Amino acid sequence: MEYQKLASVYERLEITPAKLEKTDIIAGLLGETPDELLDIVPSLLMGRIFPDWSQLELGMGPGLLYDSVCFITGVSKDALKDTIRDEGDVGKATEKLLEKKVQSSLFSKKLEVREVYEKFEKIAGAAGAKSQDKMKRILSDLLNSATPSEAKYITRTVLDELRVGVAEGLVRDAIALAFDVPKDAVERAYMITNDFGVVAKTAKAAGEKGLQGLKMKIGVPLKPMLSQIAPSIDDVLGDVEDVAFEIKYDGARLQIHKNGSEVRLFSRRLEEVTQNLPDIVEYAKKAIKEDAIVEGEAVAIDPVTRKPRAFQYMLKRFRRKYDIERMAKEIPFETYLFDVLYARGKSQIDEPFKNRRKLLEEIIEPIDKKFELAKQRITHDASVAEEFYNEAIEMGHEGLMIKNRLASYTPGARVKHMYKIKPVMETLDLVIVGALWGTGKRTGWLSSYVLGAKDMETGEFTSVGRVGTGVTEEQLQEFTDVLKPLIEYESGGEVRLHPDVVVEVAFQEIQESPQYKSGFALRFPRVMRIREDKSPSDAETLERLKVLYEAQRGQAK
């Protein structure tokens, strides 16, 4: 299949706002997609190249992409950034610059979808001292063979900014429509495989029965189930009959896969972090008594006081590429398990939480202060729960998780049967989409960050406010180091950034505001920390902000 066919579908999707029409367009393409491409086309429609859990990562930021575009168009980087500013995004800028450039090879050979994908694989596999040069050369060759419209979407895909408004829900519905299978069967299959390519191929080849036969696999991580913030303990107790309270540990969520003697660890972002945490791997081998997929929280601990350390210490472990064993001794981790997703040779996600917890207790042999079960208290007495909450805070943890013991596990969903309660004002995970160069004492640093939430209709991050408080001078340097490579263009002292960095932001309330594209603004926002354990896909959506705003209004009444 020619890549131009995929590019033409992108064009149609970009100008089509209605979800039903988008679904029809996607279903039409999937129905015409050859079997050998069904494994990659669903992801490409969402602007993704590899599954979230794949060890392959493109690893190209704006800088390397700009070098490639400048090379094939013959313009300077400043001229490219000016064009990006004028056109609104790098894809349109690349298209416009290529339209101006006469290329003898432009129409000599048409790009194929598989060829484009294989080029992406080569970029992801580039290694060694000159890996960046290899990546730029491969991308330059690819763009040089592309038509202007194809180049627009290739560059957008590289930066994970496709901007055609296709999210998982649309792909799910389109697979169901294209291959005449129920939506809930497609959704279920995706939940346990985490791969729309597998789902699409199975739906086409074997229909609903084939989808029902798909099984969870150890080594393929599931998206984590997400909680909601509870106004109070009493509010939850009034709604849930059978409830368990667990300590909410301030660490990094881990999904641990044990298959025989092999243990693999995946972060909340579904990135494999096995090599970074050899101590947890060894504890898991000893403590998990059978093949299983379990979930827990890894917490950085002060070796003297045994109190949890700041989140930044944890990130040092996850980022580390060298001296890993030494770092494990300097920053020891304690791991607390709270759920089991697979054990006894089958999925456990349909089981009620009380059964999953019982099974977890059966398959884990705790290692004291190293690899334990999350501390839990089952009660419907608010005073007992309050005492447990205070105990968690005194221990240095975040607060409590409140779980419905009769509920199943829904991967990737923010459910209404699991809550968290913390002693801080509301927080949101938002993406930094812009910044200002500082002045005075902040000269040389990027500060006053523009925050964005994802609009699921368009796939873009829309601004919801600006924040400049809560950041120390040391953090300003850290933020600048992280954000500087993501600069797309500058205008005066204002900088537009590729949306890649997620920050946790505390605020007092959500307000309506015409000042920002979203129509909302955060009152008294304050940066709490960078969340390197979260990707932009984990950030808050505009739709969720609307829900929180309406709930806030209801509470005010």
Q: Residue holding tokens 């890996």?
A: 131
286 CA to centre of own chain: 30
d(CA 481, CA 469): 18
Annotated catalytic residue, options 22, 92, 204, 248: 248
d(CA 407, CA 340): 13
d(CA 154, CA 151): 5
| Backbone φ and ψ of 22, nearest 5° | -60, -45
Q: Is there a contact between 300 and 308 (Cβ–Cβ < 8 Å)?
A: yes
546 catalytic? Reply is no
In one letter, which amino acid is 223?
A: K
* Cα→Cα distances 532→58, 217, 389, Å: 17, 26, 27
377 bridge partner residues: 245
3 state SS of 395: coil
DSSP 82-123: HHHHHHSSHHHHHHHHHHHS--TTTTTS--BHHHHHHHHHHH
In one letter, which amino acid is 518?
A: S
- In terms of phi and psi (left: phi > 0; alpha: psi -120 to 50; beta: otherwise), the region of 42 is alpha
Q: How many CB atoms lie within 10 A of CB 30?
A: 23
- Per-residue b/e over 275-284, b at no fewer than 16 CB within 10 Å? ebbebbbebb
Measuring CA to CA, which residue among 54, 53, 79 is closest to residue 66? 79
User: Would you please indicate which residues are annotated as catalytic (active-site) residues?
Assistant: 248
